[in-house]
């Protein structure tokens, strides 16, 4: 049965949701205040992380936590106002990071990640976006021998449990693979099944163009105007009010304010990140995570993109790019970065959930309202896979993975 559906949010998750529903024969209107792919979907490292079967866990070691508190590294930064605003969510995140909880969460999470590359491949073929794709994996480098040994044991476990392929590189192999590196390294784990996109924002735009070519509507509007009507849902746009039988909230980092307006108190919070491009420097062959330092270098169409780790801060707080400055210094030790493209670094916000899993399913107290949010670091990776799961649920079909694990009903309100 064909339905009229509003999708609010034109990042990777929202665009994929609109496109998936349209491909299934529904009439879909996509609404956002900005063009597609302009927020976190643009600013990430461009990796479709097939290896990311286990969500990022908060350190349980008190020494590691003290390193964060005293800002000894560059992988995590925080604003005191952000800690005060998000302390209940961060406490729940720390509790979910306990080994037994994290193992159970990872088993559920892996059910989505397992389909990430296949679902992207399907949409890329339809959108003619395969020119943006490189299937060359993600390399995680280590400077310390003990850190490399630990990473190798963990990679062997992940490969055994989840079937993810990897290659171990010693110091000499890294010298051969990346001749531009200036300093010797202890080793690297090269995850072979992950993919890289030369322009993350452009991939979202290609998916949006396919949606429009197939007759979808893309309108400028604000989610604050969403309201229930007698027959469904309505949102105000530049072309006037638009109504539909059903609506989907795929608002990324802005989802929390909307679900709170509707009376839900789900444990959502924000992690911010930064990046800057460099040109004219040495060539990096494969996207590289400096695992002990917590930043990524990604060769992209605009230049070498250096991306920072996570910053705990309110979404509208003043930018504080200390992590990116540190990342650029660390990356400059490894290779010649060249000259910066942007004067000021880009900053964006990632939408996170305290139990590390996205929220996908029906809003419990609002008929016809659905949510697809809280993807943390993996919205770019999981956009098509989570869109497929939501579409299965909206159509009343059999979901391809354990849907209850991601349902909004897992929270009390």
CATH of the domain at 288: 3.30.9.10
pLDDT tens, residue order, the chain (413 aa):
678 999 999 999 999 999 999 999 999 999 999 999 888 889 999 999 999 999 999 988 888 888 888 899 999 999 999 999 999 999 999 999 999 999 999 999 999 999 999 999 999 999 999 999 999 999 999 999 999 999 999 999 999 999 999 999 999 999 999 999 999 999 999 999 999 999 999 999 999 999 999 999 999 999 999 999 999 999 999 999 999 999 999 999 999 999 999 999 999 999 999 999 999 999 999 999 999 999 999 999 999 999 999 999 999 999 999 999 999 999 999 999 999 999 999 999 999 999 999 999 999 999 999 999 999 999 999 999 999 999 999 999 999 999 999 999 999 76
- Asked whether residue 227 falls in the same domain as residue 372, the answer is yes
Number of domains in the chain: 2
Nearest to 404 by CA among 350, 352, 351, 355: 355
Is the same domain home to 216 and 288? no
Residue 390 · residue 372 · CB < 8 Å: yes
Q: Please say which residue of 304, 336, 353 terminates a domain.
A: 353
What's the start-to-end Cα distance of the chain, in Å? 31
State pTM to two decimals.
0.96
CA dihedral 210, 198, 375, 366 (to 10 degrees): -20
Q: Is residue 130 part of a domain?
A: no
Residues 64 and 147 in one domain: yes
CA atoms within 13 A on the CB side of 294: 20
| 270: CB partners within 8 A, 6+ apart | 82, 86, 253, 256, 312, 313, 314, 315, 349, 350, 351, 352
Domain range holding 17?
4-43+201-265+355-410
Helix (H) or strand (E) holding 122: helix 116-127
Structure tokens that stand for 357 in this block: 């899993």
Same-domain status, 142 and 61: yes
**Residues 205 and 250 both lie in one domain:** yes
**Nearest of 159, 187, 156 to residue 50 by alpha carbon:** 159
**DSSP track, 226-261:** -EE-SSSEEEEETTEEEEESEEEE--GGGHHHHHHH
Phi (first) and psi of residue 116, to 5 degrees: -60, -50
Domain-located, residue 100: no
Q: Is residue 104 part of a domain?
A: no
The CATH number that applies at residue 259 is: 3.50.50.60
Distance CA(203)–CA(119), nearest Å, equals: 13
């Amino acid at each position: 049965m064909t339905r009229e559906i509003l999708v609010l949010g034109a990042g990777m998750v929202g665009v994929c949701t609109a496109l998936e529903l349209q491909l299934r024969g529904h009439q879909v209107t996509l609404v956002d205040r900005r063009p597609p792919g302009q927020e976190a979907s643009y600013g990430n490292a461009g990796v479709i992380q097939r290896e990311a079967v286990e969500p990022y866990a908060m350190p349980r070691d008190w020494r590691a936590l003290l390193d964060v508190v005293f800002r000894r590294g560059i992988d995590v930064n925080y604003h005191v106002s952000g800690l005060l605003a998000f302390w209940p969510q961060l406490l729940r995140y720390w509790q979910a990071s306990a080994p037994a909880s994290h193992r159970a969460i990872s088993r559920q999470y892996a059910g989505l990640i397992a389909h990430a590359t296949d679902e992207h491949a399907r949409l890329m073929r339809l959108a003619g976006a395969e020119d943006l794709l490189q299937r060359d994996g993600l390399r995680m480098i280590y400077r310390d021998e003990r850190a490399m040994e630990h990473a190798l044991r963990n990679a062997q476990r992940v490969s055994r449990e989840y079937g993810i392929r990897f290659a171990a590189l010693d110091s000499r192999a890294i010298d051969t693979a990346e001749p531009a590196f200036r300093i010797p390294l202890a080793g690297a784990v090269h995850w072979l099944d992950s993919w890289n996109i030369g322009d993350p924002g452009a991939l979202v735009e290609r998916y949006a163009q396919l949606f429009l070519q197939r007759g979808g509507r893309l309108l400028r509007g604000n989610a604050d105007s969403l309201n229930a009507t007698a027959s469904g849902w309505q949102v105000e746009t530049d072309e006037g009010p638009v109504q539909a039988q059903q609506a989907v909230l795929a608002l990324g980092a802005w989802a929390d304010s909307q679900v709170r307006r509707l009376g839900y108190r789900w444990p959502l919070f924000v992690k911010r990140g930064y990046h800057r491009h460099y040109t004219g420097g040495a060539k990096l062959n494969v996207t590289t995570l400096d695992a002990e330092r917590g930043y990524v270098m990604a060769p992209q169409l605009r230049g070498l993109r250096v991306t920072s780790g996570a910053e705990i801060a309110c979404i509208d707080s003043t930018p504080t790019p200390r992590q990116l400055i540190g990342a650029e210094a660390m990356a400059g030790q490894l290779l010649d970065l060249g000259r910066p493209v942007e004067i000021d670094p880009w900053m964006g916000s990632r939408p996170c959930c305290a139990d590390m899993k996205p929220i996908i399913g029906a809003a419990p107290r609002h008929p016809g309202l659905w949510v697809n949010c809280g993807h943390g670091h993996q919205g770019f990776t999981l956009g098509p896979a989570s869109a497929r799961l939501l579409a299965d649920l909206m159509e009343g079909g059999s979901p391809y993975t354990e849907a209850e694990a991601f349902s909004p009903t897992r929270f009390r309100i």
